Chains A and B, each alone.
Chain A
Amino acid sequence: MNMQFAIAYSWPMPNARALIAVVDDEAAVRKAIARLISFAGYEVVTYGDGAQFMQSLALRRPQCVLLDLHMPVMGGAEVQARLAACGDPLPVIVITGQDSDQTRDRVLACGTSAFLRKPVDEQVLLDAIAVALSKGVGDPC
């Protein structure tokens, strides 16, 4: 697995430098999404799987996480479960290719900010991030 801890895209947008984490096992996907949202003025950090992301939380805490569900080592569902287990209020946006209604209901039931289906449109994604950020960032675990 490609160990890509943090690739930050810089784009001049001084009024909003919120840090967004992108967690996806597919390098092409996480790079493209990171590239796209960096144009909206966010600082972006990417991870190849849930375990890497969980480890990174102690060092650098994002304001929102875009989370894929199917990943080796640790999938999105487990990340959410762990966050919930320690009461972490970090806003989570799930972006997945799995589009069954059961998955969606299960994901939304555990306090997920948004459930987006791949491929995701720019505007839908940015709106979901804006909503998530507006909920405010709670304390870390």
Chain B
Amino acid sequence: MSWIDIAWPMMGGASLTLGLIHLVTWIQQHGRHERLIFAIAAFAVAILSVLELQAMRADSPDEHARVLRWGYLVLTPLMIAFPLFVRVRFRAGRLDLLVAFVVLRLLALVANFVGGANLSFTEIHAMLPVAAWGGAHVFVPIGTTNPWVVLAHVAVLLLIVFLFDAQREVRRRGDDDEYRAARRVCLGMIVFLLTAVGSAALITYGQLQLPFIVNPPFLAMLAIMSYELSSEVVRGAATAQRLSRSEAMLRESEQRSELAVQAARIATWSWCAADGQIALGDRGRELFGFAGAQQVDLERFLQRIHADDRECMRSVFDPTRQGEPHFECEYRVMHEDGSIHWVATRGRTQHDPNGLPVAVLGASLDVSRVREAEHESNQQRSELAHLARVATIGEMSASLAHELNQPLTAILANSQAALHLLGGGPEHRAELEETLVDIAASGKRAGEVIRRLRSMLTKSGPQHRPLDLNHVVSEVVQLYRSELINREVVVELELLPELPVVLGDRVQLQQVLLNLVINACDAMDHGGQGRCLSIATAIDPEGNALVSVRDLGGGIAADQLERVFEPFVTTKSDGMGLGLSVCRTLVREHGGRLWAMNHPGGGAVFQFTLPAQAL
């Protein structure tokens, strides 16, 4: 037993194992036909190794001729497997060359069975024992060359051209990795093909006295193909690793978002059009007031929302709603125990290709505390405004008393005169009537003063209505009239008749103006150039209504122009310093701006704008 008896079966076993591995892989990964082709080639090489060993051990020409013939039968699918592998794996190589090659191989196979002892020899005359390397003995055939063997050689030439062409085609595609693989496979195949076929040809033509040894080069070709297939496995494994790493990252990111969602007490939920149910987590059930595991369909979900706020959420699920997939709603949720919660929701609607909503994802948050705080702060602001108003009224109580005293004086004098007229006989009837009319007029005037006073003292929240600011200015001047006279302040009005209508609360705007008027009068008490108060209305460049109140006092130091609007900043000994700060808040709540500046001609100017009401 020589090393050949060990090496060849080992090569056969190796080929068989490789073939089996790739066959199993092909069965598992459907569609990877290059593995099937490889398996066929490997099985062929395995059989070939057995036949080749037999050929080397065959001492009679007949036996050798028979083994060679069967060898050619196995060689045919093996040879066809190489170009098929390239074509399937790289999707390259000319089909016409492939077809021609296959046809020639099949013709050669026919010649193998009908044209002599086998494709190599028409007849084998003798078997020559030869001492091989390593002390082994083999038999070498001596015979007449079969002319049909040229078919096999031409076929090999076609195959080489096909392989060259295939790797060039892959190169043209510009994918470097793919080209390197194609070059490795194609050039490797060409080298080992030349080795195997070249040696066989030399033996066939009697130029070389050696046995047919094609198995090692074919095994090398299998190795190249196998390397290509396994590098694919390696690449696949790397991809799988990357995928699993990114999955791990995704899981981590999901866990992180879940933690954030839990920490922020956000409830996430989803709606699926297919079953019409809302899927809620524990937090969602708590937020929307659904017990345990009860099913929540869309209608039940929407019923939880306060009827006045429901529309925004209903529209999210509306099949006719188009466009923007993102939504944001804030609404009250009514729990069964009667408690009300403010909930803010953001979400996204997913539409099918026809634009119908198929799913809605939402994240909801209980914002009741924020809303309560807002409400409280609004209430406090309103109360502060009211307090400031009461304080202002207090400042002008003398003026108000005077305003009431005037009509009362007239009423008293007129009614006493009327008593005289009553006793004076029918000829005084006309004058009596006139006197009574005067009394009624004075009574109305007193009533008007009371009405204004009451509205200024009212604590009700702001009521925004369309207003003529000129009218508000006139009312305030009227309200403060006697005080203006008392303080010897002359008022100049410059009211623009075509002033745009603004939307606002009359009482609050009166309060703002009254404060500015009182401040202007106070400023003129402390020096300046005169006692003239100018109130003007105009339209600013942006189309807003603009009101200016100018005094002729000493003006405001430049660094104080903004500070005067800060709370508790005052220059008056008897003021709390809330007036201007409240005024600015009120004007802001009306969407306007209040600021102070010094007039180039002396004195300070306070101006505020209010947006014109949209028509």
Contacts and interface: CB of A to CB of B under 8 A. Distances in A.
Contacts of B482: 70, 97
Contacts of B408: 118-119
Interface of B: 398, 401-402, 405-414, 416-417, 420, 435, 438, 441-442, 445, 482, 485-486, 488, 490
A25 B445 CA distance: 15
Nearest to B414: A32
Contacts of A39: 417, 420
A110 interface: no
A28 B442 contact: yes
Contacts of A26: 406, 409-410
Contacts of B435: 35
A36 B416 contact: yes
Given A39-B417, A98-B398, A32 B409 contact: yes
Interface string A114-137: 000011111000000000000000
A26 B410 CA distance: 9
Contacts of A35: 413-414, 417, 435
A31 B485 contact: no
Contacts of A89: none
Given A32-B417, A32-B438, 18 more contacts: A28-B406, A28-B407, A28-B410, A29-B410, A31-B410, A35-B435, A36-B414, A70-B482, A70-B485, A70-B486, A97-B401, A97-B402, A97-B405, A99-B401, A119-B405, A119-B408, A120-B409, A122-B416
Nearest to B490: A72
**A28, A98, A122 — which one has the most chain B CB atoms within 10 A of its CB?**
A28
Interface in A80-124: 95, 97-99, 118-122
17 contacts: A26-B406, A28-B445, A29-B409, A31-B410, A36-B416, A39-B417, A70-B482, A71-B485, A72-B490, A75-B485, A97-B401, A97-B405, A98-B486, A118-B405, A119-B408, A121-B412, A121-B416
Contact of B438 (A31, A70, A71): A31
B429 to A, nearest CB: 15
Nearest to A72: B485
Contacts of B486: 70, 98
A120 B413 CA distance: 7
Nearest to B431: A35
Given A72-B485, A122-B416, A32 B402 contact: no
Nearest to A120: B409
**A25, A31, A97, A99 — which one has the most chain B CB atoms within 10 A of its CB?**
A97
Contacts of B413: 29, 32-33, 35-36, 119-120, 122
A26 B416 CA distance: 18
Q: Tell me what chain B mostly uses at the interface: helix, strand, loop, or mixed.
A: helix
A118 B482 CA distance: 14
A62 B420 CA distance: 24
Nearest to A125: B413
Contacts of A75: 485, 488
B271 to A, nearest CB: 72
Given A72-B485, A75-B485, A118 B438 contact: no
A91 to B, nearest CB: 20
Nearest to A33: B413
A32 B406 contact: no
B410 A32 contact: yes
Contacts of B490: 72
A106 to B, nearest CB: 14
Contacts of A70: 402, 482, 485-486
Contacts of B407: 28
Contacts of B420: 39
Contacts of B485: 25, 70-72, 75
Contacts of A31: 410, 438
A25 B484 CA distance: 14
B483 to A, nearest CB: 9
Contacts of B410: 26, 28-29, 31-32
A139 B417 CA distance: 32
Contacts of A29: 406, 409-410, 413
Contacts of B438: 28, 31-32
Contacts of B402: 70, 97-98
A101 B153 CA distance: 140
A25 B486 CA distance: 12
